[in-house]
Chains A and B, each alone.
Chain A
Amino acid sequence: DQQVKQNSPSLSVQEGRISILNCDYTNSMFDYFLWYKKYPAEGPTFLISISSIKDKNEDGRFTVFLNKSAKHLSLHIVPSQPGDSAVYFCAASANPGGYNKLIFGAGTRLAVHP
């Protein structure tokens, strides 16, 4: 029973365009959400997070949107760059910073092409 779902295993986007990565969750107790980025042969690195008290958080080219009623969050990358090509994991926690309860999605592989 996957509590965090990333239904698109892959996404291909042209350089300069917007990349939108989606994530759905089922547990209404989740109140803190994170996105991690992973390059091949490396560990995941933290990208951006959002608390359930917000519906948007922005950091440079990266924006995360949270729709609590739909139990859905999305990561927008604008403009997309070739260096953004990686696997992106959505993660959720039931307690802020409660990493022992951090649940990850299966990941979406983003390919940004010229």
Chain B
Amino acid sequence: NAGVTQTPKFRILKIGQSMTLQCTQDMNHNYMYWYRQDPGMGLKLIYYSVGAGITDKGEVPNGYNVSRSTTEDFPLRLELAAPSQTSVYFCASSWDRGTIGNTIYFGEGSWLTVV
């Protein structure tokens, strides 16, 4: 009963380093998302994907890249880490953008600190 799995759970990066946050889901969902949550703020959408091979920018995409080569995986890449990217990152997925009742499922989060 895995659902949405993200790794790593915690990471400390130095300014300028790069890293990839991994996300995989086993529910055969078409839609996948990456959100970030800064302290005292709501979740903000970074990137999303409506299916394998298709990605699009969300509200705060600068400094990030994504790819969606399979239905299951949606990695988030930070190329040149900056202190402003210190945040909690949530991967999520849903079956469709559909109608009421189409629940979006979240992973447990990845805590990233850039120093």
| Cα(A105)–Cα(B104), bound, Å | 16
A97 touches B96 (CB 8 A): yes
CB distance from B31 to the nearest CB of A (A): 6
A44 touches B106 (CB 8 A): yes
Q: For B48, B98, B100, B105, which residue has the most chain A Cβ atoms within 10 angstroms?
A: B100
Contacts of B109 in A (CB 8 A): 41-43
B40 at the interface (CB under 8 A from A): yes
Interface band, chain B: 20 to 34
The verdict on A99 contacting B43 (CB below 8 Å), with A43-B4, A44-B90, A51-B100 known, is no
Contacts of A99 in B (CB 8 A): 31, 33, 48, 94, 97, 104
| Cα(A46)–Cα(B44), bound, Å | 16
Q: Is the interface of A mostly helix, strand, loop or mixed?
A: loop
- Chain B minimum-CB-distance residue to A39: B108
CB distance from A91 to the nearest CB of B (A): 8
Of the candidates B31, B92, B100, the one whose C-beta lies within 8 Å of that of A96 is B100
B99 touches A96 (CB 8 A): yes
| Cα(A6)–Cα(B103), bound, Å | 22
CB distance from B68 to the nearest CB of A (A): 14
B: residues with CB less than 8 A from A are: 4, 31, 33, 40-45, 48, 56, 58, 90, 92, 94, 96-109
7 further A-B contacts with Cβ under 8 Å, apart from A43-B109, A100-B45, A106-B41, are: A42-B109, A43-B92, A44-B90, A46-B105, A97-B99, A97-B102, A100-B33
Q: Can you sample 30 A-B contacts with CB below 8 Å?
A: A42-B108, A43-B92, A43-B105, A44-B43, A44-B90, A44-B106, A45-B106, A46-B105, A49-B100, A49-B101, A51-B100, A89-B43, A91-B42, A95-B97, A96-B98, A96-B99, A97-B96, A97-B97, A97-B98, A97-B99, A98-B97, A99-B48, A99-B104, A100-B33, A100-B58, A102-B45, A104-B42, A106-B40, A106-B42, A107-B42
